[in-house]
Amino acid sequence: MVDIPPVYCPIPPAAHPLLQQIQLRSEEWIAQFSFWADGAGPPSARDSNYGEMAARMAPSGIPERLQLCSDWYHLGGVWDETYDRLPTAEVGRGLGRLAEMTAKIIRTFRVPAAGLLPPSNPFNAALADIAERLHRMTTPVQRHHIIDGQQDWLVSMAWEAACKAHTRLPSLPDYTAQRLYTVGGTAFTVWLETLDGVEVPDKEWDSPSTRALTEIAGLIVAFDNDLYSYAKDLWFQRHRGVTPLNCVNVLAADLGCSIPTALDQAVRMRDRLMCLFLALRTQLAHRANSDLDHYLTGLGHFIRANIDFGNASARYSNPDGNSPHATQSPLHVSDTPLETSLKPLDIPHIAWWWQQLDSGP
């Protein structure tokens, strides 16, 4: 058990009424592709409840699209488990395969009939099914956004894997630049338009303010994910020799401080980001059209969905699928932040986020 200071999140929990059905159907969907001969599989596929993440991100979403999103999250979970927990000694050998699969997955998203994977590879049929449904259900703009987001995630995983091959942790700026994407920040947020059946105009989608708000939400989620998965990271280090690449360890090394101090500092930083998110979202909402307003609301649901999903998912309490309740570092929600400062964090590549508070979209 790892005690994490409460995190500030005034956004209330919400969930789509079909959450349970969506989750059950995703479990049935992923099971048909025979990823595991013994039918066991890692916890991400069996009982990690990725359908809950989708259903909480868009509590008023279109059911058919929520199902597609949930199914992809389950497939992505299989992929993530394959490469995310490689022992340090094996990471280097896996980089070439990771790069090849990344290119083939993105190409299949763009061309569902690409046929780049061997028919015997279970990813072949599963990915083709996701890609075909994506093309059928989305507009070209929505689809373009979704594919770009998945590409962000998949490409950044190679950088993460390379970091795990080294004994030295990355700097805080390097880590946060990487973690914005490896946590699936844009890979998740790009689904919000499709789930709610909206299409944000390019001028607003690409504006600095909207991009900043999207990235802020992504880094908040990254910190939260690192916090509630911290106990799991320690378990994999102890039992599998996996390098713990986590904001807590990065901060401890960067600041030269103890782990409890690093945990406190991590929460203070994410609370400041939450204050920035709320201030910038309020500013944008005053002049947003209805589709952008839906998206801005969805970003808030995304932040809260991640907390509720992470606290409930067996992926973070049963690390190898055979050790129930072996790891616990739940997040508790506070109504007040540990820090309220709207001054930029000392991370150069995100300093521009705070500049958007005084600019238009």
Judged against a pLDDT cut of 50, whether residue 168 lies above it is answered with yes
Q: Residue 339 has what pLDDT?
A: 97
Q: How many CB atoms lie within 10 A of CB 3?
A: 10
Choose from 77-91, 210-224, 345-359 the range with maximum mean pLDDT: 210-224
Q: What is the pTM of this model?
A: 0.94
37 pLDDT exceeds 70?
A: no
- Angle (CA) 123-126-131 rounded to 5° is 110
Q: Which residues of 184-205 are buried (b: 16+ CB within 10 A; e: fewer)?
A: bbbbbbbbbbbbbbbbbeeebb
Q: How many angstroms separate the CA atoms of 56 and 184, rounded?
A: 16
360 band by pLDDT with thresholds 50, 70 and 90: very low
| Amino acid making up residue 261 | T
Residue 169 to residue 165: CA distance in whole angstroms:
10
Stretch 90-112: mean pLDDT, rounded? 85
Q: Decide if 227 contacts 327 (C-beta within 8 A).
A: no
Distance CA 168, CA 182 (A): 19
Q: What is the arithmetic mean of pLDDT over 43-60? A: 83
